[in-house]
């Protein structure tokens, strides 16, 4: 992850292996008819809270499952266990210092614990990190990014890769807007600079605002054809 | 950054090179008599806002300089330029997908633009990321972590490496506590679980609360002997 020619060669090798494993995951998802979301954000942006709302509202509408990625602990999976959906936690700490992202191979390890054929949608909750997860495809159909308004307006410009690769940006914690100096229009302008016209939904995982719109998005994406 | 034996060997090689370069940086800092802070956090936790307060209050008390690390843009450096302190921006985007951290070699590149001999303290503002920056020493004297109360109570358990390696944790955005469900005592308990007794200062970069305490910490750390 540095600047010399040698290191670049190594990383290209790693990426190729990752892409091959992502393709293998993709084939499993297609065979099972499961639509797969790679859910990414900074730490604490509200991915798990959004999932809690989602699992609550989608009960009886779509069969969801969750693969939780974290450096350590099963805290997030524990929060979701009460919804009785297929759920697996992948911890990345056996790697070097704790891996900062999920890669295709880690997701592959988790898949063996999930009944894909019984799931319409699998949500992969990635490790909280605004940079590295965007560099690794895991075989997903769509990338959804959760962004908290507490993080400031300028992050799309400073960390463009994840914003650019997102199919949907969920702008979360909008219940706090009145207590912040956050300029929403400026943020959305920066977002359009790096990913013009990308879909966006304003939500508050605390109050439930926007969660219906997000669930409708999921249903449209999943489509009737699966 | 994966799990096979081959990859581990590569990463250990990278780390050794980084440690060697960190040692070279360390020698430069010692020779100049400059105390060096590696300032780390998630994206948007408030590092730059804290620095704005710091540069304002320390004017005439200590000679500060700043090395700004970001994937792209000079937005953070631009915010600090009005304080007329030695200031350099290092962008990590020439690397693979945008580097997610500063390493010793990137810091070394930036140092050539800074008059170390005219600086009592150099603050290195790392890339916003709760995982990777903690894995790379850059030659610093102390590691300071800024943590925003909007990020939730459980992060010390989920991302232990950075919390464990911090010499001081600045708990920021406490002006928002009344609008959040954040349990401060629980967070501090988790912090003590991974880094028992680590120093902590509660701040609001928005209202200025705690900034005096932080500046006093800096003066104590810098010490009279330099």
**Mean pLDDT score, A59-66:** 95
* pLDDT attached to residue A11: 52
Residues of A in contact with B132 (CB under 8 A): 100, 129, 131-132
Q: State the pLDDT confidence band at A8, using cuts at 50, 70 and 90.
A: very low
Residues of B in contact with A160 (CB under 8 A): 71-72, 98
Query: Which of B14, B130, B135 lies closest to A128 in CB terms?
Result: B130
Per CB-CB distance under 8 Å, the chain B contacts of A95 are 1-3
Residue A10: pLDDT over 60: no
For residue A14, give the nearest of B2, B42, B105 by CB distance: B2
- CB-closest option in A75, A152, A158 to B157: A75
Return the residue of A nearest to B73 by Cα. Answer: A158
CB-based contacts of B84, cutoff 8 Å, min separation 6: none
Chain B contacts of A127, Cβ < 8 Å? Answer: 131
- State the pLDDT at residue A98: 73
B103 contacts in chain A (CB < 8 Å) = 2
Q: Give the residue with greater pLDDT, B93 vs A73.
A: A73
Give the pLDDT score at A9: 45
Burial of A219 (0-12, 13-18, 19+ CB in 10 A): middle
pLDDT tier at B151, thresholds 50, 70, 90: very high
Size of interface A-B (CB pairs under 8 A): 163
Model pLDDT for residues B178-201, shown as the tens digit of each residue: 999 999 999 999 999 999 999 999
Tens-place pLDDT, residues B44-102: 999 999 999 999 999 999 999 999 999 999 999 999 999 999 999 999 886 545 789 99
Q: Which residue of B has its CA nearest to A153?
A: B44
**Residue A103: closest CA among chain B residues belongs to which residue?**
B2
Residue A198: predicted pLDDT? 98
- Which pLDDT belongs to residue A23? 93
DSSP state of A31: H
In the predicted model, is pLDDT for residue B164 greater than 50? yes
pLDDT for res B13 = 57
Partners of B37 in the beta sheet?
A: B123, B142
The closest CB to that of B103, out of A2, A127, A157, belongs to A2
Looking at the partner chain, which of A1, A151, A158 has a beta carbon nearest the beta carbon of B71? A158
Q: Which residues of chain A make contact with B179, given a CB cutoff of 8 A?
A: 176, 179
């Amino acid at each position: 992850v540095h600047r010399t020619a040698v290191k670049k060669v190594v990383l290209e090798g790693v990426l190729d292996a990752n892409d091959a494993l992502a393709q293998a995951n993709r084939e499993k998802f297609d065979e099972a008819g499961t639509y797969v979301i790679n859910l990414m954000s900074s730490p604490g942006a509200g991915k798990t809270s959004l999932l809690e709302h989602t699992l609550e509202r989608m009960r009886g509408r779509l069969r969801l499952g969750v693969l939780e990625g974290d450096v350590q602990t099963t805290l997030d999976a524990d929060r979701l266990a009460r919804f009785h959906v297929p759920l697996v936690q992948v911890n990345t700490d056996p790697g070097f210092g704790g891996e900062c992202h999920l890669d295709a191979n880690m997701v592959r390890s988790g898949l063996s614990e999930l009944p894909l054929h019984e799931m319409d949608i699998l949500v992969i909750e990635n490790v909280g990190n605004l940079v590295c997860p965007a560099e690794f495809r895991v075989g997903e159909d769509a990338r959804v990014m959760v962004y908290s308004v507490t993080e400031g307006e300028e992050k799309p410009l400073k960390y463009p890769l994840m914003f650019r690769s997102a199919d949907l940006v969920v702008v979360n914690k909008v219940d706090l807007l009145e207590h912040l100096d956050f300029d929403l229009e400026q943020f959305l302008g920066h977002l359009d600079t790096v990913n013009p016209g990308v879909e966006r939904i304003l939500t508050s995982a605390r109050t439930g605002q926007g969660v219906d719109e997000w669930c409708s998005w999921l249903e449209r994406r999943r489509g009737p054809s699966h």
